[in-house]
Each structure stands twice: as structure tokens, then as C-alpha cells.
Chain A
Amino acid sequence: MTTVTAPEKVTTNRPKRKRLSPLAVVIPAAAVILALTYALPPFRNYQLATVGAYLCVTAGLTVLTGLNGQLSLGHGALMATGAYTLALMQNRFNVLALGILAAVAVTTVVGGVIGLAAARLRGPYLAGLTLAVATVVPSIASTFDTTFNSDQGLTVALEPPPDAITVEQWQAWLCWAGALVTVLVIAYLVRGRFGRDMRAVRDDETAAKLAGIGVARTQVLAFVLSAACAGLAGALFAVLAQSVSPGAFPLTLSLFLVMAVVIGGLGRLSGALIGAVLLVALPEIAHSIAEDAGSQRLEGNLALTFFGVVLVAVMLAAPGGLASLRLKRNKQKGRT
């Protein structure tokens, strides 16, 4: 994947800029978010929570696609796995921590199975297979309708939050706790040996193999990692919506996720954040335009078109994504 060559490679003959430790970014971010949740009205808090939930999955996906070169169109289905697991656990035990852990665990296993297949596939084949995975969600929900209650889906039993805070505020805390932990784990993993292995496999499998890197092992691990993130995101979405149904995880969601990480900038956590914000902001903008125009048909479809146009434009003009634009400018400044 030449379009996403890691920027640090270019800078070998210049003094290395000291990289911020992930903790130094995450702790202030947590403080800012905490303050925001007190300042924002409930609906904005809900949107903030949604951004956090999206960030979990985009962070995992950007590592998988950007750093390891595997394109998955099936992460919507993995999110559905997490969401359904959480719903089933909540309705039986009603312990949220347990439900979320179970959701992550089950999605990790499912991701492992898909990842084992994925490690043998390349490019369009992998995309096609994961696309097929994304389309079977409604089919599975309808076939095993005694468990999943087909198209109606399940409601999620939840304990109400403590009286001192609103539901939306509590949701924002929960989602951002998940998102920041995800980002932290991924940031540390990517900085270390695992990240180097992933990039090596992406750039040249033969060379990576010669250097003693287990190619298949790295690919499966990358898939499992991103699947676990998707499972967490799915569980958080189930908590946010307090219900799960196949309609919440359509094929378009999987495509949107890919769009988000590509537009934001593949392989960068900052890109994943941009993508997560876009996933919430673009439909919102489209919604308000549609409302002004008073047209129901615009609703939803305008967001689709937006995403498509932005995506194609970004791929043609700046294949490195929005995060790379800023970086390129910095680089040019550095040279002059």
C-alpha cells in the first residue's frame, strides 16, 4: 500500500521529532471530554457518545487496513455480533461490565475465524468475502429467530445511571472510556514490535517472511484486534440505542466505516478520530439540509451521496486522507 507509506520513514536523515507518549494525549483528552459532558446539552452529549463508540471501531479498522493492508467490508457485521451478545447477556444477567466483556470476547472469537480465512486472501478477494459476511446479518437474525427475534431485534435491559447525571452524560462517559482505552491499547501496540511487523507484512510479504515475521500470524492478530474493537463498538451502540436489530447494522454501515477511515487517513489514529466525527457530523448536516428543503427523500440519501463524493474526491486528490494533508503541509514548512 504505497499510498499510506508511514511518514516517519521519510524523516530518517533529519533529527527525529520526539513523539508524544499516547498517555500524554489520552489523559488530557479524557479531561476535556469530561468537562464537555457537563457543558453540553443532552442531545449533544448523545452525539458525543456516538462519536466515542464510532472511534472504537474506526481505530481498529484503520490499523487493520492502513497498517496491515487488509480491507474489511464486514466490520458492521462484527459490530452486530458484539451488539447481539451484549443484548443477550444483559437480558439474562443485567451486569453491564460483564455484558461488554462478553461482547468483546465473542466478537474476538468470530473475528479470529474470519481472520484465519482472511490471512489467506488478498485484495479484492478479501473485500468480497467480508462484504458477503456483512450481508448475512439479517439472514442469520431471521433464520435463528427464536434467539435473535428476526427483524424486530431485541431490547437491551439496562440499569438506570445514578441520579446525579443524565442518561446521555452517562452514555458519553461509557463510550469515551471505551474509546480512550481502545486508542491507548492500539497506540502502544502499534508503536511496538507488533506495529512494525504489521507494516512489514503490508509492504512486502516475502521480505517480512525472510526477516522472520510470521506473516499469517500477524495478519490474523491484526484482524482479531480490530474485531475486538468492533465488538466493543457494537456493544456500546447497543447500550446507546437500548435495542439491537439487523436494521441497525446494514451493509451501508460497513461501507461507512471504511469510508470514514479512508477519508480520515488510513493507518492514523488521528484519521480514525476525524472519521468518527464525520460519521456523526455528515448525517447531521445532511439531516438539517433535508429538513430545510422539506424533502423526505433527501433524508439519509444526502448523507450517502456526501460520503460517496468526499470519498472519491479524497481517493483521487489525497489518497493519504485528510490527516495526511496537514502532515504534508508541515513537511513542506520544515523544508523551507
Chain B
Amino acid sequence: MKPPGFIYHRPETVEDALGVLADVGPDAKVLAGGQSLVPMMNMRLAAPSHLVDVNRLADLAYVRVGTAADGGREVAVGALARHADVERDEAARAELPLLAQALRYVAHPTIRNRGTTVGSLVHADPSGEMTAVLALLGGSVELRTATASRTVPAGEFFVGPLESCARAGELATRAVFPVPAGRTGSSWHEVARRNGDYAVCGVGALVTLDDVGRVAGARVAYISVGPVPEVLSVADVVEQAPVDAADWVAAGRYAADRLEPESDIHATGEYRRHLAGVLTARALREASARAARLEETILEGSR
């Protein structure tokens, strides 16, 4: 299990990187954390002719909490931010707890020390937690070439299993995770065979409450149950219900009915669907409780 040879490029700036990518053509891979690419190369399942190592692009090693163009809040994650950087970023945790809630399920800490969040998005593994987080939050990925730049919303970014819409010559420079507006709580639930394994099913949930504690919005996103991260609204089932009376179990059933997971050696599709229903209910219940607490905290704070 040794990787095949490749021509190695180590640009020092983003502009240089884009230049190299433009030069070397389609048979090139960007190397950031390498936590998915290198195992594939070790198994000789991937054999790019060129590797463009972006680990020197210090400009891209950031996690920034700020105000978006539309006035909302957002967490922007540069291409060189490791999962561990995002997970530990106090400001990001405070504004967008879902990031850390989901990141603790991304493999093991040692992998998170090296793997990058943006890299995992580009890798587009349907079991990758951050794909669903981006999709759930309605985030986007910025893709740049030497001559152009485009921002692709999550809904269009993930094309299929292990396939994002990033094209040859493009460098994903950052991902933007919008902070949900209003009194929104979040939760991530997942069942994996072992601690740190790819999920058999994983669910992220966002529940937004109105001023009087009724459910104003409830959305969930899934990993490991479809070719791309699946986002569903369960608002039809629970909207306007008082938070402690919402039928989360029914919401779970509603969501599970809309999924068509496949079987693999670890679990049947049918079990995954069942699990999706259970975890959806659990995640929604927890997210709603967090939203409710958030409300109290805000109210207490204002007193």
C-alpha cells in the first residue's frame, strides 16, 4: 500500500496555486489535509499525475465569524482550516454550535487535526458530516480559478457520491456557514458502528421558535442515507405547535418516509430508514429544547 508517483507542486500563495492548477490540467488533485486522498492513493484507488499542495497558503488558514452581505451572521472557513481549528474556535462555537456538535463525530481527533473542513466538502463523501451541516445551514463554497471566482450554494455543490461540482483548475478557497436567524437551536445525532466510524445514519436538526415558543421552522439534514446530503423540512408536521407539545416522533416518521437509503455491509437500507426516523425525532427534540433555552437565556439576559 504505497502511493503511485506524482509531480509535486507547492505554491506559496493562492495566486501561485491557481496558476499551477491552470497549468497542469485536469489530472491534478489539490492536497490539503489529505485524510481522504492519501488513503485512496495508498490503496492506488487514486493516482493523480499532479498534486498541488496548498498547505503553505497561510492566507487560507482561518475561521472567521462575521456579518454576511445580507446582514446576517456567518462563519467563514478558509481552505486550510483544519477540522480541529473549526471545532475549537470559540467564536464559531458560540455563534454556530452546530459546527462543533457535528465535528466531534468527524472521524477521530487525530484525523481532525489534519483534515480540513473545506477539503471534506470538496470530497463530497455522502457520509461526511460537514456536507450535511453546510446543506442544512444553506451555506456555500467559494471556488476560484486563475481568472474567475464563483460561489456555489450547498444545494448545487454536492452532485453525487464523492462528487462535488468543483471543476478541474478550481480551488475551493472557503466555505461559508450562515448562522440561522431567530431563536434557533441545533443538534446533531448519529449512530455509527464504532466511535468515530462513518455514520450508519447521521442527522442534523435546526428548530426555530417564535416569540411565544411555538415552532416556526424545523429542518433536518442527513448523511449516509443518500448519494448527497439530504435536507428536509418537517415544518408541515410540527409548525405552530408549542415547543413542548410538538410531535417529534411524527416528524421523524415523516422524514424517514421521504428517504431511500441503500444497504451495505453494515446495515440494511430499511434499518437506516428506521434509524433516520428515530434520530430525527431525537435531534429535533434536542434542538427544540436548545432553542427554548436560548429563548429563556435571551429573556433572562434582557431583564
The reply to whether chain A is a binding partner of chain B is no
